[in-house]
Each structure stands twice: as structure tokens, then as C-alpha cells.
A and B are shown apart, each in its own frame.
Chain A
Amino acid sequence: MTQPGDVGDPASTAIAPVAVDRFAGGNSTLLGRIGPLAFCVFWLLLLSIPFVTRNDYIVSLGVSFLINLMLIASLNLLIGYCGQISLGHAGFFGLGAYTAGIVSAKFGINPWAGLPASCIAAALVAVLIGIPVLRLKGHYLAMATLGFNAILSVLFNQLVSLTGGPNGLLGVKPLGFGTYLLDTQARIFPLLWLCAGLVMLGLNNLIKSRVGRALRALAGSELAAESLGVNAFRYKLIVFALTGSIAGLAGCLYIESNLYASPDSFDFSVSILLLAMVALGGWGRYFGAVLGALIYTAAPEILRTLQDAQLLIFGAGMILVLQFFPRGLAGIGDAAVRLWRPSRS
């Protein structure tokens, strides 16, 4: 054990951070220990997908996974860490997709402009919506964001001249470097991989920062957080805008991967499924988002042979997991560790 006296002397501030580091190693959850390493290995292996296989189906699963991961990880920041329930995430996803798609298909602007445009558009809308809506709490916030998503769905369907309406948006130009176009999913995969990696890295940094602690604090008790000087509303708005812009980025990459988008991909039922995946993976658990995204990507494929029964199996499985592991799949790892080594320290 560390001697408390090491850090007790205010005069020893120069050495204090070093002494403190010995306390810092106490991350006792399974995922907390092997998680980061395993995740890095997994992430590197992921990059190899388009290079080792010519199977378009597998590459398309990889593309879906990366996009789902960005969506679920950002939603997890908003819901799991910051405690603000949103049922409008697919709306921001669609906003990003259509912004990027319209920029290249309708205005004929360089498709690279779609990347910042979709992030900024989603963030701006998030701020405009967030200012009134984030004053609501719990179910009321969920209802308001659901309504927002429903309105966007109507716009995606009705603004036919811009979005192509229910038939979808065609004519999206692929991203590219000079004559090398990222016009297949295998070719755009490394870009997605890079973007999703940066998103995951940024979220990891944020969660462990002063800002991340403030978010978790206000999720625990807004009153107590405010009494320590945390401007809760401001932070909620920042996170809403940030997570909205990540969903916007995912939307841009989605439409550039498929060179097509139709409104039903951004319906509020998608928002509900994303929320369910956050819960299934584990609220406020960093790697919960990875598990949630894996399941969201794989489950429909695995259960496809069951046809109509797939929703039933999927739903029942979700209920079972949440019934026995309310902290989600990421919580199972913790439970396993507790069984494995009942008496640590």
C-alpha cells in the first residue's frame, strides 16, 4: 500500500503527481484493465478487413459497424455519461447525411466539403433545438427529441427537390484524392476507420477530463454539480452539440459509403434502436458502445434466417440481458471478474 504521507505535504507538490500515480493504477474492472489493449489490437485488425478480403458483404458489415459505433458511442456520451435521454439521434445522423449528400449531388460542390458541412449543420441544429429542449428533464426530454426526429423525418420525405423524398437521394459524388475515388466501400473503409478511431479517442479523452467529470456529476445530481460551480445547462448544450455533430459526421460517411440515402434510415425508430444498443452495451461504459455497435451490426445478419421471428428473438434477448445485467454487456465482464477473484485487495 502507498503511504498517505507521500502526498500529504503541501510543500512536496513537485513530487506529488508522481506519488499520486501509484494510486492511479487501481482500475479494477476487467474491461478497465485489458480493455484498452484488447481494443487497440481489435482496432488494428479492423483496418485489415478491406485488404485481406474481397468479399463485399464482409466489408459492408465493417462499414456498418464503424458508422454504428460512432452513433452509439456519441449517444452513450449524451445518455450514459451526461444523463440526457435523447430519442433524436437518428435525426442528426440524417441531417449529416443529407447535408453532405445535397452539397455534392445538388450543389455540385467538392464532396470533401460535406465533411465539415455535415458536422457544423448538425451542431448548429443541436444548439438551436437544445436551447429550449435541454431545459426539460427525463421523459419530457425524450419526448421532445423524439418529436424533433419526427419533424426531420417529415422534412426528409417532403423536401423532394433537395432530398429526393421517399425514393432517396441519388447522384451523390464519391470522395476522392485526385483521380483515386473512394467509390467502393473497400476504398472508403480506411477513411471511416480513421474517423471512427478519432471519435473514440476524443470521447475517451473527454470522459477522463475535467469536463467528463462535470458531465457525470450533473448526471448524478444536477443540484450538487451546480453547487460546485458546474454550469449544467451550458455543459448539456455543449455535449448535445458535440454528440449531434458526431452523428452528423457518421451521416456524411454513411452517405459517402453508400452514395445513396433514403429517409427510413433516419426514422425515429432508428433512434430508439440506438438507445436500446446503448443500454444493451452498458450505460456510461466506454466499451459498452463497442459491444452495442457489434450487436447492432451483427444481430440482424445472424437472425436473418429466422425471418419474422428475428425481432422476437432480438427483443427477448435484450430483455434477458437487461434483466440480469442492468449495467449491460459491459457489466457482465465486471460480474465475471468478481466471480473469478472474489477477494481482491
Chain B
Amino acid sequence: MGTSGALLEIEALSCRFGGLEAVANLGFSVRAGEIKAIIGPNGAGKTTLFNMIGGVIVPSAGRIRLGGNDIDRLPPYRRAQLGVIRTFQNLGIFSDMTVLENVMVGCHLRSHCGTLQALWRSPRSIAEEAVIRSKSFHLLERVGLVDRAQEAAAALSFGERKLLEMARALAAGPRLLMLDEPAAGVAHDAAVGIAAIIRELNRDGLTVLLVEHNMNMVMNISHSILVLDHGRKIADGTPSEVRKDPAVLAAYLGEGEDA
């Protein structure tokens, strides 16, 4: 596909917290239409990297490009408007709202009625609300939560919340879906279900970037894998390439301090 097919390009990205270099001089790209996984031991800088792409953390140096345009100076909501939509490792669901309302918040970007329209409940806002509702139901159906639509989001199990967060992210119409540990803390069966959903979404053309510890899942669904250790890239390639990489084996087995 070459670089022309790159949706997300990361160049010489670094992030320092005081003396700690959480991410150091990192470069990689995510091709449009692929599933790319980021793996690495705890503290490798995966979540920091996610936060920089999402705009929550400002990089110390480097560039982030989406579809050829620099996005590294934009606030998180602007990046979301451009299609960079993420989920959170520690769950960012709105627990005071119902399951359905959570997904409806996800539709925010694809709807337009403002405060004045809402105040007098204009015909346009009523029509838009109906569309948001039905879209949200479709998405809940896709992740298998449609029966729980009217329940409080707080009533869902951990695994169900992960699914809800995914449905909500999809509602925002992502160009790049970033999943931070979608299967962590989830029962085996549920993890298989989540993997199947990710693969299905990808088949429909969605580009996915995920951080995940579940190696089975990563190896099964990813087109390419980026391996980080101590904030540095130690490998970037297909699952079979990465599996054989000596540096990866060393990092995972805790041998040979190289950095």
C-alpha cells in the first residue's frame, strides 16, 4: 500500500515527564483499512502514546498527522471531529446515564441542533432526535446490548461496559478507532466476541488502532503490530514477523537490557 495509504503518521514523537522519557523518538504509521495493535510490557508507553494521539497529553516533540494534516496542536474535541475516536482503558462511560443515552452522546458529532433549537424543541431537532435514537439502537444491537438500552450504564458488567464504550465510539463515526485494552478484564468468551466485532468493523472498512495485552486476540486480528519497550519501538511488522523478532522475545522474557 505504501505511505500514500497511511491514515495516521507518527514522526519522531517524544514525551518526557520530568526525567522520565515515556515515549522516545517514535515513528510509525497506520494504513487506512488496517487493524494495528500496539503491544509492550507495562510502562512501555502505550497509553501515553494513545493520549498523545487523542490530544490529552501534549508531546514534547514530534508530529502526528491524520490523512496528511498535522493534528498535534488540536484539542481533543477537534481531533474527534476529524474522526479520531477513542475508548479508555479505565472506562470512560457516563455512569449516570442510561446505556442508550451513552450511545446517543456518541452521536453528538453526527448531529447539529444547537441550544436554541433544543430550547423550543424545533421540528428539526425532533426529527434529528429520532434519527439519533434509531442509530443508537442499531449500534447497541451490533454489540449485543440492545436489550439493556434503558438500564443505567452503571448496571452493566465490566465486559458489557467495554462493548458499550465501543458502540458509543462507533456512533461518533470514526475514521480511526482507537481502542485502549478492549478485552482487558473481560471473560474469555466476551473477549472472543469483542475480537469478532473488531474484525467485522474492519471488514466494513474501519481503521483500528488498539492497545491490548491479550496476545491471542492481538495475533489473531491484527494486520500489523508495533512493539514498544521503555517508550521505544523495538519492532513493527506483521504478527508472524513480530513473533519471531529477537528483540521482542527479549523484552517479553525480560532478558538483555538494551536501552
Interface residues of A (CB under 8 A from B): 1, 4, 7-8, 10, 13, 16-17, 19-20, 23-24, 26, 28, 202, 205-206, 209-214, 216-217, 219-221, 223-232, 238, 242, 284
Contact = CB atoms under 8 A, between A and B. Distances in A.
21 contacts: A4-B141, A4-B146, A8-B138, A13-B134, A28-B150, A202-B119, A206-B119, A210-B104, A210-B107, A210-B118, A210-B132, A213-B97, A213-B101, A216-B96, A216-B101, A223-B56, A223-B76, A223-B88, A223-B92, A224-B94, A228-B108
The 10 closest A-B pairs by CB, nearest first: A224-B92, A209-B118, A26-B150, A16-B134, A229-B80, A229-B109, A220-B94, A17-B130, A226-B76, A4-B146
Nearest to B91: A224
B115 A211 contact: yes
A143 B78 CA distance: 30
Interface in B88-142: 88, 92-97, 100-101, 104-109, 111, 113-115, 117-121, 125, 128-134, 137-138, 141
B120 A229 contact: no
B246 interface: no
Contact of B113 (A7, A209, A230): A209
Nearest to A224: B92
A345 to B, nearest CB: 9
A13 B138 CA distance: 10
Nearest to A9: B138
B138 A227 contact: no
Given A8-B141, A220-B96, 6 more contacts: A23-B137, A210-B129, A217-B97, A226-B75, A227-B86, A227-B88
A211 B76 contact: no
A205 B117 CA distance: 9
Contacts of B189: none
B54 interface: yes
Size range of the interface on B? Answer: 35 or more
Given A206-B115, A220-B95, A223-B56, A228 B109 contact: yes
Interface of B: 54, 56, 75-77, 80-81, 85-86, 88, 92-97, 100-101, 104-109, 111, 113-115, 117-121, 125, 128-134, 137-138, 141, 146-147, 149-150, 168-169, 172
B79 to A, nearest CB: 8
B86 A210 contact: no
B108 A230 contact: yes
Contacts of B128: 210
A226 to B, nearest CB: 4
